Amino acid sequence: MKKLFFYFIAFISIPYALKAQQETLHKFAPLPYAYDALEPYIDKMTMEIHYDRHHRAYFNNFTAAIKGTELEKTPMVTIFASISTQPPAIRNNAGGYWNHEMFWNCMKPNGGGTPSGTLNEAITASFGSFDNFKKLFAEAGVKRFGSGWVWLVVGADGKLFISSTANQDNPYMNTEEKRGTPVFCLDVWEHAYYLKYQNKRADYITAFWNVVNWEYVQNMYDSSTAKK
């Protein structure tokens, strides 16, 4: 009798488990390191506010905006592919949620240095040298008017290019003139740096190179080129 009861409970639990899986497709991932792990380049207070207020707000607003719709079960890249058909509440918050998650992973304690392997070869082939890539990437960040992001992107031809997007847009979105698969990014919204660097965005970008997680970027690059 106890065994039958156990099977009955397991059977009626299946639909709820499947529903829970669908509802948790979009998750708020934990920060990969402690708030103070990127000091002195990015300070603890900035990380606390950036992650636990700004990023969390984008996630909460995004999940609220898609609640009860098919987008709850739709992967982010698919949502981005037709983002022009979505209202601003979804476009802005979907980007803010996803972009930040990638940004955290692009950094790590004791990071920096230079990439290696196929990523380094691709950067050299596309930009002439790693130093020239850094220069062009930094320029794109400094010149971004207002708030936005800078990206290293794998294009449809498999080659790398640098792009800058406004607000919370990204290269996956069908609103972008040049689209591709982003493998590396930098947040140049003021909330990412103002407490420590005030209006000196160039100084923030210079400091950023000391915390780059090139292993993550390499993995993203390998994954994107394997699909082509």
Give tens-digit pLDDT for 158-167.
Answer: 999 999 999 9
Q: Could you tell me the CA-to-CA distances from 43 to 31, 50, 111, 207 in Å, in that order? A: 15, 11, 15, 11
Which pLDDT band, with edges at 50, 70 and 90, does 114 fall under?
Answer: very high
- What the block records as the tokens of 224 is 């994107």
- Checking if the pLDDT of 58 tops 80, the result is yes
Q: Which pTM was predicted?
A: 0.89
- Checking if the pLDDT of 15 tops 70, the result is no
10-32 average pLDDT score:
60
Which pLDDT band, with edges at 50, 70 and 90, does 226 fall under?
Answer: confident
Domain 42-228: assigned CATH number: 3.55.40.20
Q: Is 195 exposed, middle or buried (0-12, 13-18, 19+ CB in 10 A)?
A: middle
Q: What is the pLDDT of residues 122-151, one digit of tens each?
A: 999 999 999 999 999 999 999 999 999 999
Query: In this structure, are residues 167 and 147 in contact, taking their beta carbons and an 8 Å threshold?
Result: yes
User: Which residues pair with residue 162 across a beta bridge?
Assistant: 152
Mean model confidence pLDDT for the chain = 91
Q: What percentage of the chain has pLDDT greater than the value 90?
A: 87
- Write a three-state SS string for 2-30: HHHHHHHHHHHHHHHHHHHHHHCCCCCCC
The C-alpha atoms of residue 208 and residue 190 are separated, in whole angstroms, by 14
- Checking if the pLDDT of 12 tops 50, the result is no
- Checking if the pLDDT of 56 tops 70, the result is yes
Cα 195 → chain centroid? 22
Domain positions in the chain are 42-228
Residue type, position 19, single letter: K
| Residue 89: partners with Cβ closer than 8 Å, 6 or more residues away | 61, 65
Query: In this structure, are residues 168 and 96 in contact, taking their beta carbons and an 8 Å threshold?
Result: yes
151-161 average pLDDT score:
97
